[in-house]
Amino acid sequence: MRAVVAHLFSSIDGVVASPHLFQFDSFGPEEEAMMGANLAPIDASILGRVIYEEWADYWPQHNEDFGLMINPVRKYVATRTLHEPLSWENSTIIDGDLVDFARRLREEEGGDIAVNGISVIRQLLEADLLDALILTVHPVFAGQGQRVFDDLAAPLRLELVDSQITSVGNAILTYRKKRDANPS
């Protein structure tokens, strides 16, 4: 079974939208190494419409850094408003229910599956389809913005499976959904 993984940059108050507004001054060698290690096994990505449109405007013209991974990878877009054909190479609209699609894709042969987009991450987290939720928490208070845990059914119990404090002061925290959901 393929691993389904989401990685978000977060402020200490949980804001994950527009991380470029708060992460620019705290990205060091440990973050770069972690990103490389996490991206290496990825051969498919599930994206929400908003992140797809943002990235499709930028990454096709940038074949360096993240572009080296995301441009050639197969991209599946969860959308009700976009239509085929999509402009970005290797991009297809998900036909039908996102959760059902993710379950089927997870069972296929292949590498890991990255999940990008806050609403898509929420849906797959609630459906217990995320094998790992990686949060790189930056030591900054963002104040406002979308948070990954907004609107999730409570309680949602997670367990920390890995952690690292980096030389620039970030906490890289890897969670998975807690298997024993009994609050004892």
β-strand partners of 135: 8, 173
Q: Answer with the residue of higher pLDDT: 129 or 65.
A: 129
Mean residue pLDDT of the chain comes to 92
* Contact call for residues 3 and 131 (beta carbons, < 8 A): yes
**pLDDT range class, residue 183, cuts 50, 70, 90:** low
Given a cut of 60, whether residue 168 has pLDDT beyond it is yes
Percentage of the chain lying above the pLDDT 70 cut: 97
Given a cut of 70, whether residue 182 has pLDDT beyond it is no
DSSP secondary structure, 74-96, as one string = EEEEE-SS--SSPSSTTEEE--S
Res 180: pLDDT: 66
DSSP secondary structure, the chain, as one string = ---EEEEEEEETT-B-S-GGGTSTT---HHHHHHHHHHHTTEEEEEEEHHHHHHHHHHGGG--STHHHHHTTSEEEEE-SS--SSPSSTTEEE--S-HHHHHHHHHHSSSSEEEEESHHHHHHHHHTT--SEEEEEEES----SS-BTTTT--S---EEEEEEEE-TTS-EEEEEEE-S-----
Task: Convert the pLDDT of each residue in 36-85 to its tens digit.
Answer: 888 889 999 999 999 999 999 999 999 888 888 899 999 999 999 999 99
